[in-house]
Structure 1
C-alpha cells in the first residue's frame, strides 16, 4: 500500500509527496493510507476516507468534515488501573475531572507507580493514547460509525503531540485544522479503580493551545456540527468557535465536562446556555445535580433535564447503569442501559454515548433510537481500558444494535 507522509510545521499540517514504505513511528512523522476502499454512500454524511487528490497544498480536505471537535489544547491520556488507596493522596475529590499543575501531575504519576493493579487478559497496566472528551467522541464517530470528522485546535511539537496526531489520523479523523506549536502537549492522568470508576487529572496550564484570534470562519465552513466540552479555562476560544460556527449554520453540542467544573463555574455555564447557541447538551447524573442550586429544586435528573430543555433543543442526562433520559423540545424518553457488560473502565463512556447519539441525529433517527445507539456505543468502551474502542468491542456494539432492531453502520475498515 502507498502512503502519504505528513510532517509537522509551525502552522497547519502539510502534505508531501507519496512515500512507498510501510507505516513507521518516531521523528514526529506519520502516514495516512493513500488508497482506500469506497464506502457505500448511505447519505451525505458518509464520505470515503481521503485519497491523494482530496488534499490541497495546505493540507485541507476539500470535503469538510460533517462533525468538528474543538480541542483548545489536545491531550494525551495516561490510563492506569490503581487501588483505591491512591485517591486520598491526589488533589480534588474522587471521580470527575479537574485540572492540576505540572508539579501535581508529576507527583500523581509517581504515586501511580506504587498503586498499580494487575490488568486482566495480560494487558499493560498503563495505556497512553490520544485522549480528552472531544477526542473520544470524534474518534469514535469516525472509527465505529463511519462519520467524517475533524478536529480544530492545537497540540505541541513533542513526542506526545506526534502520538496524538498519529492516533487520530490512523482512525481517519481530519487533522488539517490542528495547529502544531513549539510547546508541550497537554497530558491527563486517568486513574481507574477496581470498580471501573475513573478519576481524571488533566494538566493543561502549560500546554499548547489555540487562541481565539487564530480561529477562522472558513475552518467551520461546510460542517454540520461542532462538538464542545465546557471549561472555564477555554471560554474565550469556545465563544469564538461558537460565533464562527453559528455564522456558518452549524449546530452546537456541549458536554458539561465534570461535576467539579459545573459546581465551581456554574454562573458562566448558565450564561453560555442562556445565549441560545447550544443546541444539544450532555450531562451525567453528578453534573446534572450540580447544575441545580441547593434547595432550588429536588436534585433529580428530570429536574436538570427541564433546566437544560429551556435552553437547548436536545438535552440528555446519562444515568450510568440505569441508562439515560433525554428530551427534544417537549418529547421526553427514558432508555435503560443496553447490553449487560462488566465495566473494566468507565473512561469515555459519556463521550462514546455522545458520539452514538450524534450519529443518530445525523442519520435522522428518533430521540429514543438516538439514546439506544448512544447506550450501545457507551457500553462498548467500558469493556476495556481507555477511551479508544477496540475492533472486538465495535463488533459487540454492532451486535447490540441489531438486537435492538437497528442497522449497524457501514464503516470503511481498510487501515
Structure 2
C-alpha cells in the first residue's frame, strides 16, 4: 500500500507530537437507555466492533429520536489532546498517522488542519478511515464502539527520525494492536531527546493486555503516564493494594510524572517525592464525558511545558478537562474555551494568549 505524505511547508517542528496510527472520525450522539440496552458490552467502556456492527449502530441512531443531531468530528484520544493544546493553549502541535482516501479521511485532515495542528506527518493511503460511535447517556457517560479493523494506519517502518527532530514531547495512547509502531516511535523519540507521555486508553485494554503494558512501563521510556480510576484499578487487579493511590505509586516507580484522574473527585499526581491531590474545577454536570481525560492531558502538558509546579499542572488539566464535558464530543467549543480561561483567571493560573476565541 503506497502512502502519500502531505506537503511540508518548511514549518518549525511542533513542540508536541501525537502518534495516532489510524485517523478516526467520532460519531457522537445523545441516546437513552433503550438504545444502550441493545449494545453488547459494558456501558461506559470502549470495545472494538466490526464494520457491519458499526453500520448497524449508526442505522439504529438514524431511527432513534434524540434531542440533538449526530455530530461528526476528528476523534481519537491523541487527536483530542494535540488539538486541545493547539486551539486552547497556543502550543505548536503535530500529528503522525494515516488516513484513508474517503470522506472521513478528508474530514479528519481538514478538522485537524483548521485547528492549527501540523498535518504534514499524516500519510494518505488507499482504503477506509477509522470511525467510532460515541453514545452519550443523560448522565454524561459515554459508551464507545470504535471500528478500526479495516482502517488504514501507519506502520513502524514508515516512521523516520525526521518525523521527531526538534520536538519536545511525544503523546501516545496504549493499544496492543499498535504496539510495534508505538515502540518504534518511542525509539526515535528517545534518540531525538523527546519526553514521552502515555495514556492508558481504557479499562478493557488494561485488563486484557496488562502484561504488555507493564513491560512498556518498566522499559523506563515513559516519562509521563495518565490513568483514570477504572484503568488504575485494572492495572493492579488482584493485588493486596489496588486503589488509585497504589496505582499512582506503581506508575511513579517507572515514570517521572504519574497522574490518576478521579472524575468528579479531581486527580492525584506524583513527581519525584511530591504527591498532590487536586479537586475537580467548576460545578458543571457533565453533558458528555468524551475527551475529558484527553483534554486533562492537554492542560497538564501545557503546565509542564511552561515549567509550572505539579499542583498547578493538575489545576491546568482540571480546567481543560472541565471545558470539554460541557458540550457533546471531544472538541472544545469556543464558548467553553472562554469558560476555561475564566476559570484559570479565578485561580490565578497563567492564561494562554490565544486570539480568535
1:109 and 2:53 are equivalent in the alignment: no
User: What are the superposed Cα offsets for residues 264-307 of structure 1, whole Å, 9 maximum, x if unpaired?
Assistant: 0101000000000000000110011000131x133311011011
Q: Secondary structure at the match of 1:351?
A: helix
Matched, 1:234 2:227: no
Moved more, 110-119 or 260-269: 110-119
Residue 406 (structure 1) aligned to one of 311, 331, 349: 349
How far did 1:340 drift? 1.2
Q: CA deviation at 1:115?
A: 3.6
Q: CA deviation digits over 1:310-365, x for unaligned, max 9?
A: 11000000011100000102110000001111211000000000000000000000
d(CA) in 2 for partners of 1:237, 1:107: 31
Aligned-residue offset at 1:90: 1.8
Q: 2:70 aligns with which of 118, 126, 133?
A: 126
Provide Cα deviations, 1:200-248, integer angstroms capped at 9, x if missing partner. Answer: 1110111010010000011000000000000011111001100000000
Q: Any idea what SS the aligned residue of 1:161 has?
A: helix
CA RMSD of aligned residues (A): 1.3
Among residues 227, 249, 259, which one is paired with 2:193 in the alignment?
249
CA contact (8 A) 1:61 1:176 kept: no
2:275 alignment partner in structure 1 = 332
Indicate which of 12, 17, 24 corresponds to 1:75.
24
Provide the residue aligned with 1:13 in structure 2.
Answer: 6
State the Cα distance separating 1:407 from its structure 2 match: 2.1
Q: Which residue is 2:121 aligned to?
A: 177
Query: Any residues of structure 2 matched to 1:46-195 within 5 Å, and which?
Result: 59-119=8-68, 125-195=69-139
Q: In the alignment, which of 309, 313, 317 is matched to residue 374 of structure 1? A: 317
Quick check: 1:60–1:177 contact (8 Å CA) kept in 2? Answer: no
- Alpha-carbon deviations, 1:132-166, whole Å to 9, x = none? 10010000000000000000111111100110111
Counterpart Cα distance in 2 of 1:153 and 1:313:
27
Distance 1:399 1:184, change over 3 A: same
If you compute each CA radius of gyration, which structure gives the higher value, 1 or 2?
1
* Distance apart, 1:106 and its partner CA: 1.2
Say if 1:83 and 1:115, in contact at 8 Å, map to a contact too. no
How does the TM-score come out when normalised to structure 2?
Answer: 0.97
Distance verdict in 2 for CA 1:61–1:344, change over 3 Å: farther
Contact kept? 1:83, 1:116, Cα under 8 Å: no
Alpha-carbon separation, structure 2, partners of 1:317 and 1:384: 23
The question of whether the paired residues in 2 share the 8 Å contact of 1:98 and 1:258 is answered with no
Shift of 1:80: 0.5
Q: Report the Cα offset of residue 89 of structure 1.
A: 1.8
1:322 matched to 2:268: no
Unaligned runs of 5+ in 1: 1-8, 15-58, 120-124
CA displacement, residues 36-58 of structure 1 (integer Å, 9 cap, x when unaligned): xxxxxxxxxxxxxxxxxxxxxxx
1:297·1:303 contact (CA, 8 Å) conserved in 2? no
Cα deviation 1:356-399 (Å, max 9, x = unaligned) = 00000000000000000000000000000001111110010000
Name stretches of at least 5 consecutive residues in structure 2 with no aligned partner: none
C-alpha displacement of 1:103: 1.4
Q: Distance in 2 between the 1:196 and 1:177 partners?
A: 34
Confirm whether residue 313 of structure 1 aligns to residue 256 of structure 2. yes
CA displacement, residues 33-84 of structure 1 (integer Å, 9 cap, x when unaligned) = xxxxxxxxxxxxxxxxxxxxxxxxxx25431000000010010000010011
Moved >6 Å (runs of 4+): none
Instruction: Measure the CA separation in 1 of the matches of 2:161 and 2:79.
Output: 21
